[in-house]
Amino acid sequence: MDYVNGLVERKCSLDPDETKEFQSQLIERFTKRNYEKNVKKVEMLLKKFDVPIEEYPPIVIELNKFNIVNYYLQFYLSKKHPNNEVWGLDKLEDLFKDDKEYLSMLCYRLFSKRPHEAKGVYIRGS
């Protein structure tokens, strides 16, 4: 446990090669075991270890994409925005139009509340 504290605080007594190996093993263990609960911890550790985004585990990237869609979708569903700006469905579609994966997540999340609108997003996005 001292190594973990040292890694997080950057006062580790291991050499740099061992430190990188220990960091990757630690992240791998967190993602293998009950990743839904540990994904926030993994993301925090990745930021503390200064790991580039390209090397993030796929589950962390997937969850971040899902959170982004949820964040913007709440403005549309609640009709409230921090700047008192009205968010329409067309604005959400324009935001995610370049990435089909985001559009599919938007359709998935929108389907439970407004299935006809989700169908329209799907048809326009494909």
Do 77 and 25 belong together in one domain? no
Provide the pLDDT for residue 8.
54
Count up the domains in the chain and report the number.
2
Tokens encoding 95? 């935001």
Provide the pLDDT for residue 19.
72
The amino acid sitting at 125 is G
Residue 15: inside a domain: yes
CA 68 to CA 106: how far, in whole Å? 10
CA proximity to 3, closest of 20, 76, 87, 31: 20
Do 69 and 87 belong together in one domain? yes
Tokens encoding 37? 């609960």
Tokens encoding 38? 């540990």
Mean pLDDT (10-residue bins), the chain, 126 residues: 52 66 76 71 80 79 83 78 72 84 87 86 82
Do 45 and 74 belong together in one domain? no
Provide the pLDDT for residue 80.
66
Do 21 and 66 belong together in one domain? no
Do 79 and 34 belong together in one domain? no
Residue 106: inside a domain: yes
Do 78 and 115 belong together in one domain? yes
Cα 87 to Cα 14, 18, 65, 72, 90, distances in angstroms: 51, 49, 19, 9, 8
105 CA to centre of own chain: 12
CA 118 to CA 51: how far, in whole Å? 36
Range of the domain at 103: 62-125
Do 82 and 33 belong together in one domain? no
Provide the pLDDT for residue 1.
42
Provide the pLDDT for residue 88.
78
